[in-house]
Chains A and B, each alone.
Chain A
Amino acid sequence: GENVEQHPSTLSVQEGDSAVIKCTYSDSASNYFPWYKQELGKRPQLIIDIRSNVGEKKDQRIAVTLNKTAKHFSLHITETQPEDSAVYFCAASSGAGSYQLTFGKGTKLSVIP
């Protein structure tokens, strides 16, 4: 089955700096790569996603890049703010039938004011 590795497990940045979280996946059939944000005590929520026919996608301060050849994708957050502090999960799915998502272990991002 699919295996998703996520790094780093914790990340601290100063407010206004950029944060980058990286994930690798093992199944070359995977073609859908979402990122979820989970605030303390809350449910995970989708913040951005990318499909395998796209190399980069941007939404305001967040962007995701995908390198299908190397089987890795990354989340970039620019101009970080304290409200960006949360746990971020990457995931991969083959999108075949049930869209079964395999998640990385998560990155705890702390933005220091």
Chain B
Amino acid sequence: NAGVTQTPKFQVLKTGQSMTLQCAQDMNHNSMYWYRQDPGMGLRLIYYSASEGTTDKGEVPNGYNVSRLNKREFSLRLESAAPSQTSVYFCASIGSTRANTEAFFGQGTRLTVV
């Protein structure tokens, strides 16, 4: 039982390049999330998926797209990276029952856009 697995761990991109961050969970959770973490800004929600087949914008969606490939996998894509997207990205999943609302996070992706 690996929990939430996120790849890659580190990435450097040039401005304008594209990339996809991968996330997979093996806890049979319905809900999955992408957050970005910047110094002094906490964790800000980019996009989330309440269930397979649905995605919704969070607080800071501009410049990103997501795909809920199946119940296990939720990917985040940067089509044309900008320096403002330099950040640490966390994927998370949450169970859907009242007794199972702990958010489990991946290990994070440190992205630098130069």
CB of B19 closer than 8 Å to a CB of A: no
The size class of the interface chain B forms with chain A is 20 to 34
Q: How far is the CA of A43 from the CA of B91 in the complex (A)?
A: 10
- Residues of A near B90 (CB, < 8 A) are 43-44
CB of B111 closer than 8 Å to a CB of A: no
Whether A102 pairs with B105 at a CB distance below 8 angstroms is no
Interface residues of A in 62-108 (CB under 8 A from B): 89, 93, 95, 97-106
- Residues of B near A105 (CB, < 8 A) are 40-42
Q: How far is the CA of A34 from the CA of B100 in the complex (A)?
A: 12
Whether B45 pairs with A100 at a CB distance below 8 angstroms is yes
CB of B17 closer than 8 Å to a CB of A: no
- Residues of A near B94 (CB, < 8 A) are 98-99, 101
Whether B105 pairs with A43 at a CB distance below 8 angstroms is yes
Whether A43 pairs with B31 at a CB distance below 8 angstroms is no
Whether A99 pairs with B31 at a CB distance below 8 angstroms is yes
- Are A106 and B42 also in contact (CB < 8 A) when A43-B106, A43-B107, A44-B90 are? yes
